[in-house]
């Protein structure tokens, strides 16, 4: 993918991975708008020179008006990144987890679908463009403290595969970004060994820039998770990751 002259909207670009990739796309020569809910983050990014779009991916009306605003300002929009996501811990022994499960599915899965639906007619009509969906190593190797998160990302993986097949022949590509644990505000609390954001972004931009762009963007660190089942490491790694259940507040001091 040529990264030097794209017009990119990163939905979920107000912090973390999305914000860093927004900066990297600009550094590579592309025009970038970022979307999200936080008015403060949006106004800081506007001061930095980004186009900004207010959007809540859990609200179809908000997604539609964000789409209209984005296309009015960027009629040549060719790349849409569905980065918005929440990463919530859940204790499945406590029925109160259901609220987190609903938020997770509404944001990570339905939010992705809402954004893709909103921009598909534009990209198909252009006859060229790219959706970049965002899953996780956890889509392929569950992390037991975040069960609905794992389910939502496995679902986005499956959805991305089907979307790619359905858009075949339209000129619209689907690229799935599969991050490992990356040291953003959300992850640092959960995993002190997370990959530094800078290193992750550098590797992602290198992989995105290859010709032809891979269907899945897999940095080195995530390959062990992506291929755990194929490589026979799945059961052992899930058992290892289950030790992290001790981090659930309700399990502190229990076995
Ligand atoms: N960090 C990791 O270790 C890791 C690993 C694998 C996958 N990922 C995935 O990478 C993506 C970014 O994660 P991150 O670590 O960069 O987290 P982050 O810093 O918390 O960023 C999350 C982004 O999602 C946006 N967002 C959340 N709810 C939204 C909503 N209802 N509507 C619109 N935007 C919403 C946030 O913007 P507002 O708050 O402004 O709305 C923010 O821009 C997520 O999909 C995450 O699951 C992260």
Give pLDDT, residue 185. 76
Which ligand 1 atom minimizes the distance to the CA of 135? 7
Joined together, the tokens standing for residue 168 give 């075949």
How do residues 209-235 score in pLDDT, each as one tens digit? 999 999 999 999 999 999 999 999 999
CA distance 30 to 188: 29
Joined together, the tokens standing for residue 211 give 């010709």
Nearest CA to ligand 1 atom 14: 16
Mean pLDDT of 129-144: 98
Rounded to two decimals, the pTM is 0.97
Spatial contact of 192 and 182, defined as CB atoms under 8 Å apart: no
pLDDT band (50, 70, 90) for residue 144:
very high
Centroid of ligand 1 to alpha carbon of 92 (angstroms): 23
Mean pLDDT of 19-45: 98
| Percentage of the chain modeled with pLDDT above 90 | 93
How do residues 41-58 score in pLDDT, each as one tens digit? 999 999 999 999 999 999
Which DSSP symbol is given to 211?
A: S
**14 in ligand 1 pocket by Cβ < 6 Å?**
yes
For 111, phi then psi, to 5°, come to -60, -45
CA distance 198 to 143: 24
How do residues 85-135 score in pLDDT, each as one tens digit? 999 999 999 999 999 999 999 999 999 999 999 999 999 999 999 999 999
CA distance 128 to 126: 5
Which secondary structure element, helix H or strand E, spans residue 205, and what is its range? helix 197-208
Distance of CA 39 to the CA centre of its chain: 20
Instruction: List CB contacts of 140: < 8 A, sequence separation 6 or more.
Output: 154, 157, 178, 225, 226, 227, 228, 229
Give pLDDT, residue 189. 65
pLDDT band (50, 70, 90) for residue 255:
low
Which DSSP symbol is given to 108?
A: I
CA distance 135 to 139: 6
**33 in ligand 1 pocket by Cβ < 6 Å?**
no
Which ligand 1 atom minimizes the distance to the CA of 137? 6
How do residues 165-214 score in pLDDT, each as one tens digit? 999 999 999 999 999 999 997 676 667 889 999 999 999 999 999 999 99
**C-alpha R_g of the chain:** 18
Mean pLDDT of 1-10: 97
Give pLDDT, residue 190. 65
């Amino acid at each position: 993918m040529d990264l030097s002259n794209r017009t990119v909207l990163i939905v979920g670009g107000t912090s973390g991975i999305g914000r860093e990739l927004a900066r990297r796309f600009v550094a590579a020569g592309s025009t970038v708008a970022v979307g999200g809910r936080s008015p403060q983050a949006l106004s800081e990014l506007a001061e930095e020179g980004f186009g900004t779009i207010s959007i809540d991916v859990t609200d179809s009306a908000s997604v539609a008006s964000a789409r209209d605003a984005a296309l009015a300002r960027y009629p040549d929009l060719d790349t849409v990144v569905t980065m918005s996501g929440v990463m919530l811990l859940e204790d499945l022994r406590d029925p109160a987890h259901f609220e987190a499960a609903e938020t997770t599915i509404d944001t990570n899965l339905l939010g992705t679908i809402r954004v893709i639906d909103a921009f598909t007619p534009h990209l198909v009509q252009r006859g060229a463009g790219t959706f970049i969906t965002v899953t996780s190593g956890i889509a392929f190797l569950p992390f037991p403290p975040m069960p609905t998160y794992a389910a939502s990302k496995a679902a986005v993986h499956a959805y991305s595969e089907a979307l790619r097949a359905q858009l075949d022949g339209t000129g619209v590509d689907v690229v799935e970004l599969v991050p490992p644990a990356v040291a953003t505000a959300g992850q640092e609390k959960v995993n002190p060994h997370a990959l530094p954001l800078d290193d992750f972004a550098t590797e992602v931009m290198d992989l995105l820039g290859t010709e032809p762009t891979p269907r899945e963007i897999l940095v080195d660190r995530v390959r062990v998770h992506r291929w755990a089942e194929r490589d026979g490491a799945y059961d052992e790694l899930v058992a290892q990751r289950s030790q992290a259940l001790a981090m659930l507040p309700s399990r502190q001091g229990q076995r």
